[in-house]
Amino acid sequence: MAVTLAEVAAHAGVSPATVSRVLNGGYPVAGGTRTRVEQAVEELGYVANGPARALAAATSDLVGVLVHDVADSFFGILAGSLQSALAPRGGSDARRLAVVCNTEGDPAAELAYLTLLEGQRAGGVVLTGGAVEEPGHTAALTARVARMAATGAPVVLCGRPPLPVPEELPVSTVMFDDHGGAFRLAEHLLTLGHRRIAYVAGPADLSTTRERLAGHHAALLRHDPALPEACAPLTVHAGFERSAGYDATRELLRRGAPFTAVAAANDTVATGVVAALREAGIRIPEDVSVAGFDDLPFCVDTAPALTTVRVPLREAGTLAAQLVTGRRVPPPGGITTLPTELMVRGSTAPPPAEGSPQ
């Protein structure tokens, strides 16, 4: 027998009217009360009744786009491309309004925005950027995505792994080949002759970090089974900001273990790496090679130009827009993996003959 609104209210210890306000969104409800209601909905598996589902299915022309940091060029390019692709293509095309939600990488904010978008009966949602790989958050995210998709609103996961939702729901995944890109980048450094390769990785609990670090390790292992262990002390986890790359590199230099190359979590982190090395009097690439990831526009203007891995952000934004509006049918299984490309530029070169820059 289906769970009723009254049963959710009793489970949460609130009135049915309060449950209705939380589910419909747009009404002031205390944070603690809202959390209790949302937990009760998930624990009981509440699904709105037939008439309510019909009402919820009358979705708006609003498409929610969740990003980690709208000021980050990675997300700016992705969201900009997506918004452009949502524009009407002709007189018969429905007009779409993209609403960008800045989560600042906070899992709780991600869930809160999804609840708000559900309350606004959004016509679709695109979640961008790496996923926080924590079981509790994954379960809560899966429940919210499934609940929204069940109303007929398509959901697209862009740049993150798929979620375990029923296959019949309109949920698509657009992934980047981060593993392959990191593998090719490490292989490039190894081919140049580097063996002491430092790695400034992203946050340890993020799917993007896991994929890129795994690709890096796979290349080291393929070249020499002893290399992953030898390079392990040269790996530092940090954020995705320039300051994180700067601080991580200073920490590597403080440790004193020699290295001849640094692979950074992304291009922004790489600029911090470069700044810290130059401050220490280390030349790039004569003493230490530096590489990034993403191929953001500024990479060709750094001195020297930055070797990196191109992630097809504009293509991904366009594809996500097509999927969330139904202009493109997702492939069998709902997963599309976009290739990445190694971009070799002036910031990488063979290591110095004498090895350590220190």
- DSSP per position, 176-224: E-HHHHHHHHHHHHHHHT--SEEEEE--TTBHHHHHHHHHHHHHHHHH-
**Is the pLDDT score of 134 beyond 80?**
yes
Determine the pLDDT at residue 47.
Answer: 64
Alpha-carbon distance of 190 to 351, in angstroms, equals 10
Q: Dihedral of CA 199/202/206/207: which sign?
A: negative
Average pLDDT, the chain: 89
Q: Which 8-state DSSP code applies to residue 350?
A: P
Could you read off the pLDDT of 259-294 as tens digits, one per residue? 999 999 999 999 999 999 999 999 999 999 999 999
Give, in order, the Cα–Cα distances in Å from 18 to each of 25, 34, 212.
11, 9, 44
**Is the pLDDT score of 71 beyond 80?**
yes
Peptide bond before residue 285 is cis, with ω within 30 degrees of 0: yes
| CATH number for the domain whose boundaries are 178-310 | 3.40.50.2300
Q: Which two tokens stand for residue 49?
A: 């009744």
Q: Is pTM beyond 0.85 here?
A: no
Determine the pLDDT at residue 48.
Answer: 55
When pLDDT is averaged across residues 8-27 and rounded to a whole number, the result is: 75
Q: Predicted confidence band at 6 (pLDDT cuts at 50, 70, 90)? A: confident
Structural domain boundaries of the chain?
Answer: 1-46, 178-310
Pairing of strands 62-67, 97-102: parallel
When pLDDT is averaged across residues 177-195 and rounded to a whole number, the result is: 98
Identify the bridge partners of residue 221 per DSSP, sorted by sequence position.
none
Could you read off the pLDDT of 157-179 as tens digits, one per residue? 999 999 999 988 999 999 999 99
Q: Predicted confidence band at 28 (pLDDT cuts at 50, 70, 90)? A: low
Element (H, E) at 9: helix 5-12
Q: By three-state DSSP, how is residue 77 classified?
A: helix
Q: Could you tell me how many helices (H) and strands (E) the chain has, helices first?
A: 13, 12
Q: Give the Cβ contact number of residue 217 at 10 Å.
A: 19
Alpha-carbon distance of 114 to 101, in angstroms, equals 9
| CATH number for the domain whose boundaries are 1-46 | 1.10.260.40
Q: Which two tokens stand for residue 57?
A: 């299915």
Q: What is the 3-state secondary structure (H, E, C) of 105-149?
A: CCHHHHHHHHHHHHHCCCCEEEEECCCECCHHHHHHHHHHHHHHH
The alpha carbon of residue 220 and the mean position of all alpha carbons in its chain are separated, in whole angstroms, by: 25
Question: What residues contact 51, with CB distance under 8 A and at least 6 apart?
Answer: none
CB distance 155 to 149 below 8 Å: yes
Could you read off the pLDDT of 217-254 as tens digits, one per residue? 999 999 999 999 999 999 999 999 999 999 999 999 99
Question: What residues contact 245, with CB distance under 8 A and at least 6 apart?
Answer: 200, 238, 264, 265, 268, 269, 270, 271, 272, 273, 275, 276
**Is the pLDDT score of 357 beyond 80?**
no
Determine the pLDDT at residue 19.
Answer: 78
Could you read off the pLDDT of 135-160 as tens digits, one per residue? 999 999 999 999 999 988 999 999 99
Please give the share of the chain, as a percent, with pLDDT higher than 90.
72
Which is nearest to 101 in space by CA: 331, 120, 93? 120
Identify the bridge partners of residue 290 per DSSP, sorted by sequence position.
262
Determine the pLDDT at residue 61.
Answer: 85
Alpha helices in 264-330 (DSSP H): 267-279, 313-324
